[in-house]
Structure 1
């Protein structure tokens, strides 16, 4: 008996296509599952950085982490850092939510951070005559307890030297830690006296107050010395940028307020105009060869007995320079180096005998 041949079953074309797509999706899904699982369970990769903290600040392990590749991580110290000045090595562990972890090492430094702003010295209110240039930083400096000398800048946008008035200014200094110091001051712009008649009227009124017609020229010089010496306070800064404006501003301040701040520039200018107006001969003397680049001005004065050194500036150690000889100022310069160092060949020599007030 002959066997019947089995007929091969063939899937319809549509069913075969569905089957192929199903198998492909299973393969793709399985691959994606394993790939995602591999990515999710890969190692912990983070970027860390060292820390420098003030002793008053707290620290956590997370502070050392800059970036990481998993949004859900736990960062913990292996051992808590020691809270003391100086550098130390710290260890911390980064763990993701799947329990995979990695240990990192970084540096922690505790310091006492600088929180003190620089100190600005020499700030003063400035008076100038209309149209003058303002020397904002003359005599002004700043020093920081950590950085030492630091730069000073001036906020002066509102100042108009072509218009009379008082304008606010501010001096600023910043140290390397970002601490800012600010000191406020003002610039006063005054009218220039018409043909100087008003200014010289002020000089004459001062002379009338401090001298008498019966005084000798030497006695008048002593009264002028005392007036400038006692009524000008040495502040290390000048009032204006030219001699005439300086003595005018100085005399105005003294007569209105009883005193004025200033420096040797002010003492010279005020005393010089009063001496000249009183009838004395004067000559300006300027320091030379100062190692620190500083300036000093004083007067050679002749009241009829020869040229003598006249410096109304308030000087340390109680030293006064009223009508002194070359030898006397040189002797003081031995005590205070360079103070009265001047080019002697440019000026007339003083008498060898000391001045006698009479």
Structure 2
């Protein structure tokens, strides 16, 4: 890929809607298997998660590429998957290695420009073991009515902002961030809600893993594309807490010292409950290496970041009848633009970094020994 082609390819790989992204993916992977969603899109269209497998069914090494865990972050993830296919990494694979592309895992959120699933759950907080007691987050309880205030008048928002600021002053910025991002299981419709049972999107991932016999592999590398944290356009390679330091060290061997982890203390993310890595850890243990390829958009303290999550949660919690109204579309579009800036420089950075990470993963999986 050269500089000129990267700029041209950005317009080819990025899409303006979920349907456009799906059409492009299916054009590149026409034999993909479709997994339907029970909920329709904003225009009544059918929604699907699509899984495309390349290589021998019995390959012992597997690369898994996952897009759309968080709805509108799927615009980036879909483009990255198309970059992988355009580079033809999936062609001429050795018998030992296969590739599985999972497109639009949370297809509902992708189509509706919502980070959450149809059940209102943050999918990346939903992979807990629901047979065990759910993680507690008492700090979120204290903040919930301010993070998703029913009163969105100017005075109501002023009071909510003042309460959040007071909490931050009393407990520190890091504690505040952990309170509303680490996950909670008591307030449906609230921020970071992980649910009370597996979501449809989680069940879809579990079914895909079973259909393609993922747990039979000796080595599995998972790249899960995300946006919204870190410096603008930079792709941070984040490990998650379920893999621990061993998972971090496995990732460093593949991707180098730019890998981060909340366990180490060098990540822009925090430890979260029920993240997707928990699923892979339970299924594969030390046979897997998981990274969230997190591309920054705007600063977390940007007023857009604070208002977008609040407005979206308020809309679907307090005004569900307006989700397709002019107001609803305005709120949803703001979410889309925050997680997908639609700027040529940002898009080009995503393609370059994704290509590098893909190459590193494939070199690690296809090397001898």
TM-score band by shorter chain is under 0.3
- State TM-score, norm by structure 2: 0.21
Q: Which has the larger share of strand?
A: 1
- Which has the greater radius of gyration? 1
Flag the structure with higher helix content: 2
Q: Normalized against structure 1, the TM-score is what? A: 0.22
